[in-house]
Structure 1
């Protein structure tokens, strides 16, 4: 999914005609077939469709039509659009924590996870008012401006990130000696009350989560845009997963796949 950055908090300022944006944001239920899902501030229908149970690790990714993680500008932002953004906001609104690799967080200019007001208000049953952000890093080099009270630094023992001090000292989670242990990572997040995990990649972290069999749901959006030649490939959906639903909107195909447990 396309990460929300500060630039996207006022999408209405893009100059796109409001009627056109609304039409492109409408989601059609392709499989199983059903009624269209028009834009809604509280996204009640989408939140019901994407209900996130405790203990479920969900992978949320967007790819170009040739399977790459970035569009023409070298970031995933040039892959996104109104329909994709609706699903991204919804996935985040039902999650406790967004998990992302540091390289992706820096390249995509991640900021604190901010939700539209109506979606933030719909989180009343969850532990935290807004989703936390967990960044996997050895270097401890983080995007600027992050709030330590809602950000976690996931790293290995002895790394530069493990030695972070000040307000970050209590936010460091060590999940391995020399290499990140994905299973330990998930367990440590869960132990802190972050039991609804949304992993937004990038491709390397997503592949590791999939290869360890830790992904319960794979939410994959395909944009009808050619990817950057230098961009990594998004991992394919595992053969053992089953399609739960497919939506379409604008030039996007939006799928949710579930693992057989």
Structure 2
């Protein structure tokens, strides 16, 4: 099927309706899975969401109980396997978070090897943070925060997922991070804090990118941080991380 056929459909009047391009979900995890990696959604060369923090670590106790004390990603109950997956939106129970999940079906790499070794049920989902406010380990799924999962699911509704790419130690695509697309009401400001750099504020979503560091995270602005805002042009804002560290 041609790309044009993939991205268009027919209305009742016979007029071709252009559908949005499919989404590629990029995930990069560190080799040390006790640390978080990033997840971002890209379509048509534009960043739709992220990069957000994501954890791809299995629970130590459960992995050991199931005979995988090293959390080998290619074995059941290990860390999230690298490779490519197909993705499907679905609904699961409360422990997976309030916004639904993305089911991951392996198509290549260690993900496919893991499937042949009996691994099933890999997801992208959220759920409660731990007592320190950090992402909790799973049984091998990818976990993001509830707030970020809500953004991800809102972006994906009405779109198709082309693929999910899970890699290790890969930087995010940066050609569309600086600057953000004009359609997303992006604007640029220079941060004058110590060690500062060029910041890109997305006025549509309230997110901030550090353009001088392509591996920087996106931080959602919350009301509790707005009291720290001062001296920025109209329409700009600080995220809590960039302002108060």
Under a length normalisation based on structure 1, what TM-score does the superposition of the two structures give? 0.28
Higher relative contact order (CA 8 A, sep 6+): 1
> Whose Rg is larger?
2
More helix by share: 1
Under a length normalisation based on structure 2, what TM-score does the superposition of the two structures give? 0.29
More strand by share: 2
